[in-house]
Amino acid sequence: MSIAKTYNPKEAEEKWYSYWMEQGFFRSTPDEREPYTIVMPPPNVTGVLHMGHMLNNTIQDVLIRRARMQGKNACWVPGTDHASIATEAKVVAMLKEKGIEKSSITREEFLTYAWEWKEKYGGIILKQLEKLGASCDWDRTKFTMDPDLSEAVIDTFIKFYKDGYIYRGIRMVNWDPQGKTALSDEEVIRKEVNQKLYYIRYKIKDSDEHVIIATTRPETIMADSAICINPLDERYKHLQGKTVLVPLINREIPIIQDEYVEMEFGTGCLKVTPAHDLNDYELGQKHNLEVIDILNDDGSLNEKAQILIGEDRFAARKKIAVLLEEAGQIEKIEDYKSQVGFSERTNAAIEPKLSMQWFLKMDTLAKPALEYVEDGTIKLIPEKFFASYKHWMENVKDWCISRQLWWGQRIPAWFNDKNEWVVAKTESEAVADFEQQGKSTAGIRQEDDVLDTWFSSGLWPMSVFDGVRNPENPDFQYYYPTNDLVTAPEILFFWVARMIIMGHDYTQKPPFRNVYLTGIVRDKLGRKMSKSLGNSPDPIELMEQYGTDGVRVGMLLSSPAGNDLMFDVSYCEQGRNFANKIWNAFRLVKGWETSNAPATDAQKMSAEWFENRFNQAVAEIDEHFANYRLSDALMATYKLIWDDFCSWYLELVKPAYQTPIEKETLETVKGLFQKVLKLAHPFMPFLTEELWHDELFGREENDCIIVADFPTVQPYDEKCIKEFTIVQQVISEVRNIRNSKGISPKVALPLAINATNIDYSKYQDSIIKLANIEELTFVKEKVSGAVSFLAGKDECYVALENNIDVDAEKERIGKEIEYLKGFLTSVDKKLSNERFVQNAKPEIVENEKNKKADAEAKIQILEESLASLG
């Protein structure tokens, strides 16, 4: 049966993914094999596939497919995250479109809408990952609000509470006025923004004097509780014990003294607004100042502001500035740049806000999570992220774990009508607790807040195997700890650290052994890809255009661990071209007719060389995988297949036009072709499975490459590889001479070699064939009038006779000599520099010496060639 002229990725992808699913190749159950486990970083249910997901999940799929082929029990658990803030925002927006305000419905009604939304949209991204070829155990798909996972979250909250790690209190938190919820420090993104710095006059009571305060937030002056000066500041000593009037509202506030104020910064006077700044809050606590919160949860001004009530904070800022100007209380206004916090989810500017919240004490819990990484139990790949991880873990703050939302795991705390509270799993348990303490059970109600999403996803490697509720179950005992986690550096603290913390607290074990941190996908201008910038291609469209294998190769060719990927669609084109190269190579082999003649010595030699080269490449690729250099592993595979197999080996054994190939040689080619397909499968699953099942290989139906044995490291003959490298040099140099002289490839040329290095006799037929040599001779002296070159350390001569323009050749050789002499001068400078020779590594110095020797040898040969031309 003939094979199609061109590879049709779409057809192969649909066929083989369905087949793999039907045959259960992705499924995993505990058995006697070594487990290899990955848990997918659960994408938000609000998400659709973007380039970051593409990179992350392609890497995971490569690792899981290779492990499966290595005979391990490969288990890749997929799932999605309920993403409280993002999902609630989507549902609120959907309700608004229907004319429904969240405030007008009950929590139960809202959750009904939210679950409907999740069922409709929540699985989109997982279906898109199937298109990518993700070989997940889809039967194990989890959602962070599945009943069993939610129960694990509630159990964990109760455990941490009983262990003394959870407390409730009023603290300054990061408040998202758009999401109307508290955020942890890690959910706040700092950005530099252009602002105005307002210099405002505060009048000293019963005086014509005033002090000047500089602020970027004039809308908060109505919440001021004091003006603070440094007690050592001579400028303001006379103001001690006096009061000032807050502009516009004339409320009297004291002037206090504290060394916290920097005399050199600004005017040396600080307005203290305890309700709206963390440092001001701490200063207010120290001096027992009044706390006046003038902002509503949505960022608008409340009644305590006295003016502009109901105005949005940013609209109020502009209006306050105008009012102050009109009142003559603005000294000046300057342009100013400063760092402002924004919500990671809604991109709203964060407000520091005093709020009653639930917190998890982190100092004790964080210590083992740091030790695991310090002692190498958990490896961060690349290691450059250790420093920031260590800094964060050593300076960790208590984690605000409550969120003012309805979508999520509701905190298991219960209040009575006196606002007393207990932590309990159910209302009946709460009633029993209240009664045991002799407290009222009247008006009992559950806490409205839900838990931070990262609290639930922190349990992910355990909860997907039901290890929190049932740690003795066979799945958890077999698959945990997991092997590799592939994720983005920006959630190293959000998620990775918290999984380590929770995993250790429950099991005294780390949840995984290696953390592979991918880079950020950027465009060729270095900008992070995003829909808002319009610089991010649609991954689905890319796969339609270039084939999934082509896109996978394109992504991985340029994505070393931890380094940002400067993505360009040309990489996908390169990936598609690679797929076509393999396809065309297969078509070539399949088209050969066979004869019963025995294989020639040249054919056997070619196979021997490629076997050795293949085994060398496998060792190199194996080392790259061991060090998580997946980009390098792919490049080594790419070069082996494109260069060594297609461009050299197949050309060496290819029969002359309309001449059959020896059956023995074809069988060898088929065997080697299958080996390179196995090596390529984790990167290019669809193309390799398609070719694997071609009738040329005569396979049983269930004999699939997805479960074939991955090539293992075998011994190889370095001498054979080095010798053939020199043979390749000879062939390439002859071809270069043809190209540079404009001689047709059909014109056979004579070649003479002064062989001092290797025995060329066994390579003679290969050289004659690939370099189109009319006669190959071996000489002991120079051939006059011939173009010469070095192959290894052997001098080679091509007599061109009438095929050469002597004057042009003289000019070319002269330029090459001139270039080499310049190169030699630069090398000599290095070697004559004593500091370089003493301080450089010995191998670097030796390399420079080798460069010098090579250049001198080439110059000598070129000068002799020049002399021979007269």
Cα separation, 736 vs 791, whole angstroms: 13
At 843 the pLDDT is: 82
841 vs 226, residue with greater confidence: 226
- pTM value is 0.84
Annotated binding site: 531
The 10s digit of each residue's pLDDT in 183-238 is 877 788 889 999 999 999 999 999 999 999 999 999 999 999 999 999 999 999 89
pLDDT in tens, 42-95: 999 988 888 888 999 999 999 999 999 999 999 999 999 999 988 998 999 999
Query: What pLDDT score was predicted for residue 606?
Result: 96
The annotated binding site for ATP is made up of: 531
Is-contact 171 357, C-beta < 8 A?
yes
Cα 144 vs. chain centroid, distance in angstroms? 22
Q: What number is the average pLDDT over the span 832-853? A: 84
Please give the pLDDT value at position 802.
Answer: 62
Tens digit of pLDDT for each residue in 683-693? Answer: 999 999 999 99
| Residue 785: pLDDT band with limits 50, 70, 90 | confident
**Which residue segments constitute the domains of the chain, with CATH numbers given?**
190-348 (3.90.740.10), 539-716 (1.10.730.10), 744-868 (no CATH)
Is the model's pLDDT at 106 over the cut of 70?
Answer: yes
Q: Please give the pLDDT value at position 805.
A: 65
| Portion of the chain with pLDDT greater than 70, in percent | 98
Q: Please determine, for residue 449, whether its predicted confidence score (pLDDT) is greater than 80.
A: yes
Residue pair 788/861 in contact by the 8 Å Cβ criterion: yes
| pLDDT tens-digit series, residues 305-317 | 999 999 999 999 9
Residue 514 has pLDDT above 60, yes or no: yes
- pLDDT of residue 816 exceeding 60, the answer is yes
Report the alpha-carbon distance of residue 56 to residue 65 in Å, rounded: 14
Per-residue pLDDT at 521: 82
The DSSP secondary-structure symbol of 833 reads -
What letters, b where the CB count within 10 A reaches 16 and e where it falls short, cover 363-375? eebbebbbebbee
* Band (283; pLDDT cuts 50, 70, 90): very high
pLDDT level of residue 657 (50, 70, 90 thresholds): confident
- Mean pLDDT over all residues of the chain? 92
Determine the Cα angle at 108 with ends 441 and 85, to 5°.
Answer: 105
Please give the Cα distance from 702 to 692 (Å, whole number).
11
Mean pLDDT across 636-664? 95
Residue 870 — very low, low, confident or very high, per pLDDT cuts 50/70/90?
low
**What pLDDT does residue 852 have?**
85
Dig out the tokens for 108 from the structure.
């139960």
Q: What local confidence, expressed as pLDDT, does residue 609 receive? A: 97
Give the 3-state secondary structure of 105-164.
CCHHHHHHHHHHHHHHHCCHHHHHHHHCCCCCCHHHCEECCCHHHHHHHHHHHHHHHHCC
Q: In this model, does residue 1 exceed pLDDT 60?
A: no
Burial of 544 from C-beta contacts in 10 A (0-12 / 13-18 / 19+)? middle
Report pLDDT digits (tens) over 761-778: 889 999 999 999 999 999
Q: Pick the range with the lowest mean pLDDT from 119-123, 369-373, 684-688, 726-730.
A: 119-123
Q: What is the pLDDT of residue 532?
A: 60
What is the mean pLDDT of the segment spanning 354-364? 93
Confidence of residue 806 (pLDDT cuts 50, 70, 90): low
pLDDT for residue 438: 93
Structural contact between residues 288 and 221, judged by C-beta atoms closer than 8 angstroms: no
Judged by average pLDDT, the poorest of 4-13, 112-121, 340-349, 619-628 is 340-349
What is the spatial distance between Cα 537 and Cα 59, in angstroms, rounded to a whole number? 19
According to the 3-state scheme, what is the secondary structure of 615-678? HHHHHHHHHHHHCCCHHHHHHHHHHHHHHHHHHHHHHHHCCCCCCCEEHHHHHHHHHHHHHHHH
pLDDT at 804: 63
Say what the pLDDT of residue 862 is: 80
Note the pLDDT of residue 698: 87
Task: Give the pLDDT of residue 641.
Answer: 98
Which of 442-446, 779-783, 832-836 reaches the highest mean pLDDT?
442-446
Task: Please check whether residue 55 is in contact with residue 521, taking contact to mean a CB–CB distance below 8 angstroms.
Answer: yes
> Residue 393, exposed/middle/buried by CB under 10 A (0-12, 13-18, 19+)?
buried
